[in-house]
Structure 1
Amino acid sequence: MSCILTISGRNFDIDQFIDKSNLKPFRKSYKGQPRFKTKPDGAKLTQSSISIETSKADFDNLTKQISDTVRYLKRNKDNLVHIATFKGIDHAVLDFGVDLRIDKVKVLTQSDTFPNALLKLAGDLGLDIELSIYPVDLQSNLERRRTNA
């Protein structure tokens, strides 16, 4: 998953929002649930949220993520318009996940541009945009941490 729309709020009734908007989240999290399934007695979530995939393009293909997301926003505009008026929503963010391209040898800087079409659609719907940059070897680093723990 590379571009995810997350909608959240401290007093966000996610089930009512889903019924009203007809959006199909792949994840629902309820305020008061444990933050981690492995620690049921640990810290609890302080807000409810839903996550919706707007693009399945890989982390190395931001152009495809953007075109998929523009298409998703246009196709679902009538459902997404509820975000701006639905009571209890504190945040609505499109998070684009990309690979870190800086290698300190050939690539020294990394910049990415979001086209006006995406910015206008997101702005009209009250959506923020976030760019999350991940190391290319993230999966192997996580696996190495697990085996060393």
Structure 2
Amino acid sequence: MPCTLVIRGKHFDADDFFKKSKLRGYTINYKGTPIFKNKPDGKKMMHTSASIQTSSAGFNDMPKQVKDTIQYLERNRAKLENILLTRHIDYAILDFGVALRIDHQNILIQSEILSKKLIKLAGELGLSIDITIYPPDLEEQLSQQGQKRRSC
């Protein structure tokens, strides 16, 4: 999973934000649209959120995700400062996706290091940091859950 910058707000005008900031490469999910595209009459989004990939490094390469994200923040600093100026942003988060390495035999604990440079840049831009840890067999587990639901 790459590192993704997620900007979200209940009354966030994502189109206006991207028009003013001139940031590129984003995806927007609008408040009021269906959460699941295959269920148009189902639950609706409660917030508008926008996602921007800051690193395409994989689950197993947190140092590369951090390096890429620092470069992205530095390169786009002036544009990202609009986060601090934009009303109705409830939060902006850098979400790092990493693989769970704990196997209870060879690896008993897991920690991830965030450089002070990343933390400083994120803080100056009003960004929180999230590390989402994914099990190595996530796709298999999701597939099994889907099969269980279909058989019920």
TM bin, normalised by shorter chain, reads over 0.9
Instruction: Quote the residue 1:80 is aligned against.
Output: 80
Shift of 1:2: 1.3
Shift of 1:144: 3.0
Shift of 1:25: 3.9
Unaligned runs of 5+ in 1: none
* Deviation by residue 1:115-140 (Cα, 9 ceiling, x = unmatched): 10000000000000000000011122
- Alpha-carbon RMSD: 1.1
Instruction: Quote the residue 1:34 is aligned against.
Output: 34
> Is residue 23 of structure 2 the alignment partner of residue 23 of structure 1?
yes
Q: Do 1:27 and 1:50's aligned partners in 2 also have CA atoms closer than 8 Å?
A: yes
* Deviation by residue 1:45-75 (Cα, 9 ceiling, x = unmatched): 1111100000000000000000000000000
Q: Do 1:30 and 1:47's aligned partners in 2 also have CA atoms closer than 8 Å?
A: yes
Instruction: Quote the residue 1:51 is aligned against.
Output: 51
Instruction: State the distance in 2 between where 1:29 and 1:23 align.
Output: 16
Percent sequence identity over aligned pairs: 47
* Deviation by residue 1:21-62 (Cα, 9 ceiling, x = unmatched): 111243211111111111111111111110000000000000
TM-score (norm 2): 0.94
Instruction: State the distance in 1 between where 2:140 and 2:34 align.
Output: 27
Instruction: State the distance in 2 between where 1:138 and 1:46 align.
Output: 26
Unaligned runs of 5+ in 2: none
